[in-house]
Chain A
């Protein structure tokens, strides 16, 4: 019998290895190492794993699965909610099929990893340009985890500022209700160990923008410190936030806090410290393609940006792997999580690239590291670097503009049907929220949104995400066309009137 195809050692080689080691067989080998721990016998795996199959059979199996899910060519995808249906040029798949990119490990040996390091350096440069931020790291897992790490970074910054130990029981991080609910949940998971409270800032019921008065109120209500305020741009409901007004209040957060403290002069020294700390302004985004059209976080003096970069050259892949983006002002670089590529020289004074400031990281600092992250989303970042290289300055803007237009055309046409009304009135980029008019609800006599989505799906339209029983989140990208939009509108009418 031949060897299994991934094993280069022949049966004879293996016998030779056993002889060389003076061990009889597999049983003896493991017995020698494991003592009395039993070995799995073939029978143990019956029922869960069949015998191995050849490549052709394997491909057939997965091709069958592929043809049993919605067809890419027949289906128009209008769902967003944190991951967007953008077009991926074939250059990216072609370049990424190079083993030199996808089969190495993390570039711990810079001399033999210049390709990956240079590509990541370009990734950092392009993302910094798009966000107008100083420093971008070499990627995080995804937008949600990156945002959670941004909140942790802000907690560290607040401790460093006041010289307090890392106990945040008296601290509150304010998070806009406009944040993607999954991101909110991931923040909770990650900050659980710090004791910090996470509180939501309301949205304005009409515009869908973060309510400024509520932010003011909450900043002055907090007795402890507010290490960070988190705003998503555009927010989960698609609405463009007024970051200019928000930033002014957030970065003067110390004023409202100190006023409070002077009103209560008997406050303890612990709370007195709060007057010296300005909340870190964290901007998140699940769709940084918007920054081709709207002002980027750096324009509004964001301290940290943490979001999702999957829109740049990556497929949706049923939700992962994604591409976490993390950026900050220069002065916070030593508190940043993750790897950073820097430009340096080699012994012959030639340009070279290497990971820098790694004393922040777990493999050096262990328990005192800024994060436990090690493996990240490097390959997705390389995809993004290639994608953005292709885009060019004007192309990036043009595609962003196309997204803006298609989404607006779709929304206007849906409103014209008289079946929907806007959930919020604020400006939006490529995603918006609609609710069903009351007559639709009555007519259906049950949960309109999930029912609508399911019926549309049967007509090859992935119509959006149910925000509630009565509201839908819909996006449109350059990957759909006017005829898809017309198909959406026609079918929506049939489904809802029928």
Chain B
């Protein structure tokens, strides 16, 4: 009998903080900042016109520090997370978030650094950005990365803007972006935001794009294609090189949605597939925590011909004698590749530069989500050249193990039965339906076994889709346990129990219809 994690924990109830308020209680100490008593006594109207002064300060809760700590600690216990459960959420790459990276991102001086600190004082920080860029270029075969996009969707948007700008400069007005119907919802949404019209291409049984089908959509109006590879079924796009060839022949670009890059990390360069642009979700493949919805980073990489369009500012590296010369705008020699290899750092000067005439502009007020980037950089240094290739290898092995084993329990549900998937696998609800269980019920039942559900009902073109991404940081033992839970659910669960699940969580099945009918947005 398998021992499942289950849920047997303690759930403590907790009222909203506003209901715990007592007048005059506070959880923060107010400093005096060394001010004189006479200054401390003054009120706002001593400094500014009283017509601006707020009469009723915001009614924040009045609670003590221990009350706040207990409140949020209790709240936290109502969450499932990567550190407590197997979290096989497809397309989200919920891998382990190394603790050392949290510590590094929390180093006192770095986390307190103002982004507009003079460049001569922050050379090592700018160098991190430059070196991280070098590694990503090496891993993808692309020419340069911009870290301005704050998340995957922002990376897509920036990439599409880059394409747009390229054609504008060429005097061409191409309006169409091709998007497979199995793509993430962000793809068509980003296309529209960038001023394109997305055209959906029908995909095959395993969500794959057929080069012949693609040809029907080709015209001089096509600026590019957004292709997720491996696609949202976890299947490698076999025709990718042919697709790239067709696109390039038409003068169009191939944008790869890099949400699934964990399938390739350290083993495959996307440049070898003919990819021109990609966004890498640092909060997926590169182990930075997802934070319960963010923050992330959607680093955008491009080929040489598109570099000039990347967002500003960027970190510019120059071989020069000293920072003062840079500041004074003195001419310096260009970077010598050989001296770069020989020596890391001494005579190179880094600065934030807006000097990019054809840039799409700014995406964010400063440089990038630096605290995310530094975690991802530390992750790559930890792995190193010798381990990085194991990431995608084990991720692919784990996914195929689940695919094959679950495939036997869920016959007829694998749309890609004979093939080898990459980092994730997808099943339809065909087999569980026969047992009278729907996909949503399977998801909620898994919770009571102590697992986070897989991604469900996506991709849309699989009926009742169940999308499982185990990642490389899970053991075969955990996978076996999960598979056993699915088997028990399929063979032993009564419908009456299924509709009521989950039963062991803080709250039962949430009424989302009511939530939408009478929306309550705040206290």
Please tell me if A59 contacts chain B, counting CB pairs below 8 Å: yes
Chain B residue nearest in CB terms to A194: B195
Please tell me if B422 contacts chain A, counting CB pairs below 8 Å: yes
- B25 proximity list for chain A (CB < 8 A): 392
Q: Is the CB of B33 within 8 A of A45?
A: no
- A263 proximity list for chain B (CB < 8 A): none
| Segment at the interface with B among A87-95, A210-218, A253-261 | A87-95
Expressed in whole angstroms, the Cα–Cα distance for A52 and B390 within the complex equals: 12
- Of the residues A58, A69, A121, contact of B100 by C-beta under 8 Å: A58
| Segment at the interface with A among B77-85, B204-212, B425-433, B488-496 | B77-85
Q: Is the CB of A356 within 8 A of B519?
A: yes
Instruction: Decide: A49 near B380, CB < 8 A? Known: A116-B292, A141-B295, A142-B150.
Output: yes
Please tell me if B92 contacts chain A, counting CB pairs below 8 Å: yes
Expressed in whole angstroms, the Cα–Cα distance for A398 and B204 within the complex equals: 63
Q: Is the CB of B121 within 8 A of A379?
A: no
Q: Is the CB of B508 within 8 A of A389?
A: no
Q: Is the CB of A319 within 8 A of B365?
A: yes
Instruction: Decide: A373 near B153, CB < 8 A? Known: A32-B420, A107-B293.
Output: yes
| Segment at the interface with B among A15-23, A220-228, A267-275, A488-496 | A15-23
- A68 proximity list for chain B (CB < 8 A): 123-124
Instruction: Decide: A393 near B62, CB < 8 A? Known: A29-B393, A99-B82, A377-B294.
Output: yes
Q: Is the CB of B510 within 8 A of A321?
A: no
- Of the residues A30, A129, A189, A343, contact of B60 by C-beta under 8 Å: A129
Query: Closest CB of chain A to B26's CB: distance in Å?
Result: 4
Q: Is the CB of B153 within 8 A of A111?
A: no
Please tell me if A266 contacts chain B, counting CB pairs below 8 Å: no
Q: Is the CB of B472 within 8 A of A145?
A: no
Please tell me if B378 contacts chain A, counting CB pairs below 8 Å: yes
- Of the residues A49, A64, A388, A393, contact of B57 by C-beta under 8 Å: A393
- A interface bracket (residues with beta carbon within 8 Å of B): 35 or more
Chain A residue nearest in CB terms to B92: A105
Query: Closest CB of chain A to B504's CB: distance in Å?
Result: 10
Q: Is the CB of A316 within 8 A of B292?
A: no
CB proximity to A under 8 Å, residues B61-109 = 61-63, 65, 68-69, 71-73, 75-84, 87, 89, 92, 94-98, 100, 102-109
Expressed in whole angstroms, the Cα–Cα distance for A315 and B267 within the complex equals: 36
Q: Is the CB of A82 within 8 A of B365?
A: yes
Please tell me if A322 contacts chain B, counting CB pairs below 8 Å: yes
- B458 proximity list for chain A (CB < 8 A): 363
- B192 proximity list for chain A (CB < 8 A): 193, 367-369, 372
Query: Closest CB of chain A to B361's CB: distance in Å?
Result: 4
- Of the residues B42, B84, B362, contact of A100 by C-beta under 8 Å: B84
Q: Is the CB of B87 within 8 A of A105?
A: yes
- Of the residues A37, A130, A382, contact of B241 by C-beta under 8 Å: A37
| Segment at the interface with A among B112-120, B216-224, B248-256, B299-307 | B112-120
Q: Is the CB of A6 within 8 A of B385?
A: no
Instruction: Decide: A113 near B164, CB < 8 A? Known: A316-B114, A375-B153.
Output: no
Most chain A Cβ neighbours within 10 Å, of B33, B106, B108, B476? B33
Q: Is the CB of A69 within 8 A of B109?
A: yes
Q: Is the CB of A389 within 8 A of B522?
A: no
Q: Is the CB of B97 within 8 A of A103?
A: yes
Q: Is the CB of B475 within 8 A of A9?
A: yes
CB proximity to A under 8 Å, residues B215-252 = 236, 238, 240-241
- Of the residues A9, A53, A193, contact of B164 by C-beta under 8 Å: A193
- Of the residues B34, B369, B384, B404, contact of A52 by C-beta under 8 Å: B384
Please tell me if A296 contacts chain B, counting CB pairs below 8 Å: yes
Q: Is the CB of B81 within 8 A of A104?
A: yes
- A14 proximity list for chain B (CB < 8 A): 394, 397
Expressed in whole angstroms, the Cα–Cα distance for A40 and B272 within the complex equals: 10
**What 0/1 readout, one digit per residue, does chain A (173-207) give for beta carbons within 8 Å of chain B?**
00000001011011011101110000000000000
Query: Closest CB of chain B to A54's CB: distance in Å?
Result: 8
CB proximity to B under 8 Å, residues A127-158 = 128-130, 132, 134-136, 138-139, 141-145, 152
Instruction: Decide: A83 near B366, CB < 8 A? Known: A18-B397, A70-B117, A104-B80.
Output: yes
